Amino acid sequence: MYRRALSVLVFMVMACAAIVAWRAHRFLTVPPETPGKEITVTIEQGMGFDAIAGLLYKEGVVTDPLAFKILARFSKQDVKLKAGQYLLSTGATPQKVLDLLVSGQAILYKVAVPEGLTLRQIARLAEQAGLGSVESFDRAARDKDVLAKYGVPADNAEGFLFPETYLFTKKPGNDARQVVEAMLAQFQKAVAKAWPQGAPQGRALFDAVTLASIVEKETGQAGERGRIAGVFANRLRLKMLLQTDPTIIYGLGEKFDGNLKRVHLDDPKNPYNTYQHPGLPPGPICNPGLEALKAAANPEPHDFLYFVSKNDGTHYFSKSLEEHNSAVVKYQLRKGK
C-alpha cells in the first residue's frame, strides 16, 4: 500500500515537472503569434519590472508575465532594462524581447535641420518629428541653466542651434529639451572648427554668430560667404548701415507676408531694421551652418561695400555706390525685360 502511494506520488511529481518543463519550453521557444505583428511599447523612466512585464503581456508581446519575470531574474537582466520607446513584435520569443529592452535599441526619430532656420522654425520641425512640443523647445532654448551649460552668451539659443540631421529616442513628457541640448553641443564642435586657434568668448562670440546668421541668409553659395562677410565687415568698420533685408524680415516675424515693402525699410520701430539702425542687429536672425561661421571667423579681405543678386544664385560685388547702382539697374530693375 505504501509503495503504491509512493509510486503514485513520484508519478505525479514527475508529471508536474514534465508539464512545467513543457510549459517553460513552450514559453521560451514559441512566440505569442505566428506570424507576429509589430507593437510600439514605451518603457517609462523609473518604471518597475512588474509593471513592464504587465505592459508587455497587455500588448500581447509575452504570453505569461510571471514566466517573463522569472526569465529576466534568472538571467539577471531584470535590472538592466532601459527606458525608451521600442518597436517589438508578437512574433518574437521572450528572450529576444528581453535582449532588445536591455540593449536600449529604442526607436530613433530623425529630424533634419537645414541651415538658416530660426529657433521657432526648428521647434516646429522637432514637434513634427514627435520629439517634443514647440512650447517645450522654446522653454529649453531660454533656460538659463541650459544656456550656461553650453556657454551661450545670450538669453536664448537663437543662432546657436547647429543645423544637422539628428537621431533621437522619444522621451516621456513630450519634452524637446534633449533636441535643444544636442544642437547646442554640436554648435560647440562647429565653433572649434570655425576658430581652430580658439573661439571668441562672450560678446565677441555673440557678434560673430550674429554676423554669420546674416551671411547665411544672404547667400546659399559657399564660395561667396567669405566675400559677403567681408562686405559687412567693411561696412561695420566704416560705420555704414548694413542695409540687409533679412534682418528686417526677422524683425517682422509672423507679420511678414513674403513682400518686403518700402514702409518696412523706413520703419525705425523695428529694432532689426539695419536700414535705420547702425551696427549689427540685436542678435542672430537664424541658425547658421559651419561655412557661414567660418566666413564670420575669417571675412575675405577686399574693398567691396555693396552686392546685388544676379538672379542666378550669385551676386555682383561693387566698391562704389555708383557701380552698385549700375549693377542694380542691370540685374534687378531690368530683370523682367
pLDDT of residue 192: 95
Closest CA to 274 of 245, 250, 236, 296: 245
pLDDT of residue 12: 55
| CB atoms inside a 10 Å sphere around CB 227 | 20
Q: How do 315-318 and 306-309 pair as beta strands? A: antiparallel
pLDDT of residue 119: 97
CA distance 124 to 108: 18
Closest CA to 39 of 86, 84, 74: 86
What architecture does CATH give domain 31-106? 2-Layer Sandwich (3.30)
**HSE of 120 in the Cβ direction (CA atoms, 13 Å)?**
4
Question: H or E element: which one contains 6?
Answer: helix 2-29
Closest CA to 306 of 284, 278, 281, 325: 325
pLDDT < 50 regions, the chain: 8, 11, 15, 19-20, 22, 337
- Residue whose entry in the numeric block shows the C-alpha cell 521600442: 86
Three-class secondary structure of residue 184 per DSSP = helix
CATH 3.30.1490.480 residue spans of the chain: 31-106
